[in-house]
């Protein structure tokens, strides 16, 4: 049985990935500073370790053949636009130490989760943005300290592969969403935050839903099940350059709110308030994804949001007693 480590296994994508790998017959160690918040982990072994520390990284990577490195100090726009020093410090330590420890422990394959935040700000200043191709990342002007660190670790992975022969794989996620992710507290991302706001509007009878900015900023959103398929296909492939993983259907944040309200079967009144909006427009160019993996995300935004909304509405009911 192949032994793998998933870091960030207490987080949204990490905990789903543990279950996905278990279903495929792997022995899985999960590591995080916290256990999954909403469901029990299905990992064979789960260790609470702070991966900013070198000794913990050595412990985490012992006796495994593969590493999926998902641990990161991260959140939605509200968080990543206001915690630059912490994010750069924490994530750089996590990634420097995890990759070096993996090398020392003889790990053969290493999966790194980068982000669309590596793409230059100067290509994302319009709502009708041209979809981003992998090679657009340079000349570099990433978004926030979060994006700079992702780009730095992409380079680190590339050099470890060239210098030490460890097979690194690099994915650039574009807005992954789904059930069992953070939906309140300041680290939630737009789809979860909007599902929560629409659920509160529906259950409280007050239809006002706050949107940061004018809501015309554009994004694409990819459902978690497609994300897991993409991660696994890329890890098993021989493709070592960074690869986009996302949907290429772009919607505005206003449209996203309307789709969720329709799913909830409720009327909302959008109230535009000041707030961090990130880049003006962003979309994934999936040309290379299709070429490399012979596949692209297939779950529609409506289907993914219906599953996510149902779970978040249940969470809101349970927590706030509606």
**73 is an interface residue for ligand NAD by CB under 6 A:** yes
Spatial CA neighbour of 177 closest among 120, 95, 286, 259: 259
> If binding is defined by CB under 6 A, does position 175 make contact with ligand NAD?
yes
Given 146, 160, 180, 223, which residue is catalytic? Answer: 146
CA distance from start to end of the chain: 47
Q: Which residue in 6, 11, 132, 268 binds ligand NAD (CB under 6 A)?
A: 11
Q: What is the DSSP string of 115-176?
A: EGGGS-GGG-SSTTPPPBPGGGG-S---SHHHHHHHHHHHHHHHHHHHHH--EEEEEEE--E
Residue 270 interacts with ligand NAD (CB under 6 A)? no
The correct pick among 57, 64, 77, 94 for binding ligand NAD (CB under 6 A) is 94
Are residues 313 and 192 in contact, defined by beta-carbon separation less than 8 angstroms? no
Identify the residue among 41, 61, 105, 113 touching ligand NAD (CB under 6 A). 113
Residue 173 engages ligand NAD in binding (rule: CB under 6 A)? yes
Q: Which of 19, 22, 27, 33 binds ligand NAD (CB under 6 A)?
A: 33
Please state, as a whole number, how many other Cβ atoms lie within 10 Å of the Cβ of residue 58.
Answer: 16
Q: How far apart are CA 197 and CA 183, in angstroms?
A: 10
Residue 10, classified by CB atoms within 10 Å of its CB into exposed (0-12), middle (13-18) or buried (19+), is buried
In this structure, what are the phi and psi dihedrals at residue 81, rounded to the nearest 5 degrees? -90, 0
Tell me how far, at minimum, the Cβ of 267 lies from ligand NAD, in Å: 29
Residues 205-264 touching ligand NAD, rule: CB under 6 A, are none
Among 74, 250, 253, 279, binds ligand NAD (CB under 6 A): 74
Which residue's CB is nearer to ligand NAD, number 93 or number 203?
Answer: 93
**Which of 233, 272 has the CB closer to ligand NAD?**
233
112 catalytic per annotation: no
Q: Where do contacts with ligand NAD occur on this chain (CB under 6 A)?
A: 8, 10-14, 32-34, 50-52, 70-74, 90, 94, 113, 115, 173, 175-176, 182, 189
């Amino acid at each position: 049985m192949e032994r793998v480590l998933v870091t960030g296994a207490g987080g949204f994508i990490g905990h789903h990935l543990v279950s996905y790998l278990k279903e495929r017959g792997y022995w899985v160690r999960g590591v995080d500073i916290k256990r999954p918040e909403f469901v029990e982990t299905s990992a064979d072994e789960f260790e609470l370790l702070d991966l900013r520390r070198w000794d913990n990284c050595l412990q985490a990577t012992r006796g495994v053949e593969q590493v999926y490195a998902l641990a990161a100090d991260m959140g939605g726009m509200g968080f990543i636009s206001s915690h630059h020093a912490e994010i750069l410090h924490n994530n750089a330590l996590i990634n420097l130490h995890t990759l070096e420890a993996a090398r020392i422990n003889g790990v053969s394959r290493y999966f790194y989760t980068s982000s669309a935040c590596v793409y230059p700000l100067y290509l994302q200043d319009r709502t009708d943005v041209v979809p981003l191709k992998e090679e657009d990342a340079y000349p570099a002007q990433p978004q926030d300290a979060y994006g700079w660190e992702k780009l730095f670790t992409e380079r680190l992975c590339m050099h470890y592969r060239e210098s030490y022969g460890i097979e690194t794989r690099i994915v650039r996620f574009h807005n992954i969403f789904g059930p069992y992710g953070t939906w309140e507290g300041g680290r939630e991302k737009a789809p979860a935050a909007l599902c929560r706001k629409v659920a509160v509007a529906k259950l409280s009878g007050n239809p006002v839903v706050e949107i940061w900015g004018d809501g015309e900023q554009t994004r694409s959103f990819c459902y978690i099940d497609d994300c897991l398929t993409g991660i696994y296909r890329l890890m098993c492939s021989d493709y070592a350059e960074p690869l986009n993983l996302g949907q290429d259907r772009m919607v505005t944040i206003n449209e996203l709110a309307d789709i969720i309200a329709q799913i909830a079967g409720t009327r909302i009144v959008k109230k535009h308030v000041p707030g961090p909006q990130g880049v003006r427009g962003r979309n994934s160019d999936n040309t290379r994804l299709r070429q490399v993996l012979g596949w692209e995300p297939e779950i529609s935004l409506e289907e993914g949001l219906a599953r996510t909304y149902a779970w978040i509405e249940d969470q809101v009911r349970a927590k706030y007693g509606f």
